[in-house]
Homo-oligomer: A and B are copies of this chain.
Amino acid sequence: MTEQAATTGAGAEPAATARGAQTRQLILDTALRMFKEHGYAATSMRAVAREAGVAVGNAYYYFPSKEHLILRFYDDVQAEHRAAAAPVLAGSTEFADRLAGVLHAGVDTNAPYHAFATSFFKVAADPDSPLSPFSAESAGARQASIALFAEALDGSTIKVDAQLREELPELMWLAYMGVILFWVHDRSPGQRKTYLLIDRAAPLLARLITMSRLPVLRPLIREALDLLRHLRHRT
């Protein structure tokens, strides 16, 4: 079992001594609890500090900004995601099952936070925010997540066009982002529509990927991949 998700390059948040680590954890836990209870926007740094029994300055000593509190939270969720996905990755070699399983696990780990996920989703939507899934600061968590999808692909028996296979883990991660986007907007009880989407779209994608080697589709796929490579890099 992999213990360590790659850490976000979020910058040093001091925790040299044991006492320091404890204080930092206290602040983080307090903040996340309050976020869950009252939402992100409605929870002020002053309130977090008061509730945790520390000075405001102390909170800022450990976390450069309010948003960085959530960044840490992302890391935790990502680590849980991998753990939650482990069973299905050990149990099936069917691509559709493995993909659906990892997506399921992703939504499951986020489920307890659906209520306040919306309140900080708008923060994550800002391209300039370190919270953006595309930002440099979240590169660590992103790479760890992509690696999880690579694992889902590699352990499957699906036959994939060689060029497509190279890009597929990142594309699967993109699909995951799409699922999260849907999930955030999903108002059905228990977000059951999101699960419906996963369970029915995964086999569809598996069939489409299998068909990627057909002569009719291959040139289309190749051109799409070429476009993707042009678009990927910044600037």
- A interface list, Cβ under 8 A from B: 118-119, 121-129, 132, 134, 182, 184-185, 187-189, 193, 196-197, 200-201, 204, 207-208, 211, 214, 216-217, 220, 223-224, 227, 230-231, 234-235
Contacts and interface: CB of A to CB of B under 8 A. Distances in A.
A220 B208 contact: yes
Contacts of A204: 220, 223-224, 227
21 contacts: A118-B126, A118-B128, A119-B126, A121-B125, A122-B123, A127-B184, A132-B185, A134-B185, A187-B235, A188-B234, A188-B235, A189-B235, A193-B231, A200-B223, A201-B224, A201-B227, A204-B220, A204-B223, A208-B220, A211-B217, A211-B220
B197 A234 contact: no
A133 to B, nearest CB: 10
- Chain A: interface secondary structure? helix
A11 to B, nearest CB: 19
A229 to B, nearest CB: 12
Contact of A127 (B118, B123, B197, B214): B118
B234 A187 contact: yes
Contacts of A214: 216
Contacts of A196: 227, 230-231
Copies of this chain, count = 2
Closest 7 pairs between A and B when the two form their complex, measured CB to CB: A125-B125, A122-B126, A127-B185, A200-B227, A122-B125, A122-B122, A118-B127
A120 to B, nearest CB: 10
A78 to B, nearest CB: 19
Contacts of A207: 220
Give the most central of A125, A134, A200, A217: most B CB within 10 Å: A125
A88 B132 CA distance: 35
Contacts of A189: 235
Nearest to A199: B227
Contacts of A121: 125-127
A227 B197 CA distance: 7
Give the most central of A121, A122, A182, A204: most B CB within 10 Å: A122
A119 B127 CA distance: 9
